[in-house]
Chains A and B, each alone.
Chain A
């Protein structure tokens, strides 16, 4: 049975061939621990990190690539961005669509005296920036928003939110887990102070990769300290980026793969990738909404969302639908709450969850047609 992978919002699959080759090449032929000494292998490994930083800086219009630090994933990056900045007495504004990667760290920070306002979004996940403006208090230190929802794909108005943050002297943090590699991100034009990204979704790199950009001049406390291969004569953690946030041996093989992924994305172009995914998303929405008993969530049109389409079949458990899609049709989806209970609460699916189909650059028209037909058959049998 042919496998149709529609879980790209969790992790993209497959990866470009160049990504597999880059990881293998590093592990098999290069090796070396970057920044540890001056051997040829060490320097070559350091070059991998430097090239990846440069490629990401170009993609996000970061002026100083050294201000991008690599992390295990976007969750780690968000923990650094939130816990490294917010202090007791500070106020942070988010949307009500945030992932647990933001909600759980903020829940911990709240217990330590950080005030948190989650501005309510509409049931399709959309946000009125005016509501964010109204939520600003004298002690508001940060506006933290996801660029697009991992549940509904709803794209947030980050241009306007960045302006609001800048005009009010507030730090602007963007969680680009669902958008880096598919939507344009410009930290300068969009006034982004902290950008958290993952490497294994639309950037097409391996799992275990991600990072954080921190605007020069912004003081941030690391979550961990340790060996950096720099200023080793001091017990204090180096204050310069990226060493401040990069202790311990990094995931160099993974970063080699991430570099290949970013290079692939840039060679294809964001516009082309977005156009492909948007066309397929529109097709999926149009097909699913015609099926009796199917309830769709999120914005009506693909232009307002990333390639993520959640749905339910009336009176059928979402886990069962996902299981049938997998076992009978070979279609990989994700059911449940998607680590986003706040978003499900906003949409109205906190009780029952949803089935999520998320498309990628390697999804084909045929894949989408097959998925629509499969949902139609399940709904016809069960609804």
Chain B
């Protein structure tokens, strides 16, 4: 499950989109 979907379901409102500017979950080695 995507992080943002999980947070949305939990009612966390400050969520930003995870995928942007070529940064996909698990693919950014700085993380």
Q: Is the CB of A96 within 8 A of B18?
A: no
Q: Is the CB of A350 within 8 A of B18?
A: yes
Q: Which residues of B contact A349 (CB under 8 A)?
A: 16
Query: Is A337 on the interface with B (CB-CB < 8 A)?
Result: yes
Q: Which residues of A contact B27 (CB under 8 A)?
A: none
Give the complex CA separation of A349 and B15 in angstroms. Answer: 8
Q: Is the CB of B30 within 8 A of A342?
A: no
Q: Is the CB of B31 within 8 A of A345?
A: no
Q: Is the CB of A346 within 8 A of B7?
A: yes
Q: Is the CB of A120 within 8 A of B10?
A: yes
Give the complex CA separation of A347 and B15 in angstroms. Answer: 8
Contact pick for B16, options A107, A342, A351, CB 8 Å: A351
Q: Which residues of A contact B16 (CB under 8 A)?
A: 345, 348-352
Q: Is the CB of B31 within 8 A of A346?
A: no
Residue of B nearest to A351 (CB): B16
Contact pick for A345, options B1, B7, B28, CB 8 Å: B7
Interface residues of B in 1-31 (CB under 8 A from A): 1, 3-4, 6-7, 10-18, 20, 23, 28, 30-31
Q: Is the CB of A120 within 8 A of B30?
A: no
Q: Is the CB of B11 within 8 A of A120?
A: yes
Q: Is the CB of B30 within 8 A of A345?
A: no
Q: Is the CB of B3 within 8 A of A345?
A: yes
Give the complex CA separation of A348 and B13 in angstroms. Answer: 8
- In the complex, the number of residue pairs spanning A and B with C-beta atoms less than 8 Å apart equals 61
Query: Is A335 on the interface with B (CB-CB < 8 A)?
Result: yes
Contact pick for B31, options A117, A119, A351, A353, CB 8 Å: A353
Give the complex CA separation of A345 and B10 in angstroms. Answer: 11
| Least Cβ–Cβ distance between B5 and chain A, in angstroms | 10
| Least Cβ–Cβ distance between B15 and chain A, in angstroms | 5
Give the complex CA separation of A342 and B15 in angstroms. Answer: 9
Give the complex CA separation of A382 and B3 in angstroms. Answer: 31
Give the complex CA separation of A349 and B7 in angstroms. Answer: 13
| Least Cβ–Cβ distance between A376 and chain B, in angstroms | 23
Q: Known contacts A335-B30, A342-B3, A345-B7: does B14 contact A351 (CB below 8 Å)?
A: no
Residue of B nearest to A335 (CB): B30
| Least Cβ–Cβ distance between A338 and chain B, in angstroms | 8
Q: Known contacts A117-B10, A350-B3: does B31 contact A337 (CB below 8 Å)?
A: yes
Give the complex CA separation of A352 and B7 in angstroms. Answer: 17
Q: Which residues of A contact B23 (CB under 8 A)?
A: 351
Q: Known contacts A345-B3, A350-B17: does B31 contact A96 (CB below 8 Å)?
A: no
Interface residues of A in 72-131 (CB under 8 A from B): 96, 107, 117-121, 123
Q: Which residues of A contact B7 (CB under 8 A)?
A: 96, 118, 342, 345-346, 350
Query: Is A293 on the interface with B (CB-CB < 8 A)?
Result: no
Q: Is the CB of B14 within 8 A of A346?
A: yes
Give the complex CA separation of A352 and B17 in angstroms. Answer: 9
Query: Is A319 on the interface with B (CB-CB < 8 A)?
Result: yes
Additional 11 contacts, C-beta under 8 A, given A118-B7, A336-B31, A345-B3? A120-B11, A120-B13, A121-B12, A341-B3, A342-B3, A342-B7, A348-B16, A350-B3, A350-B4, A350-B15, A351-B20
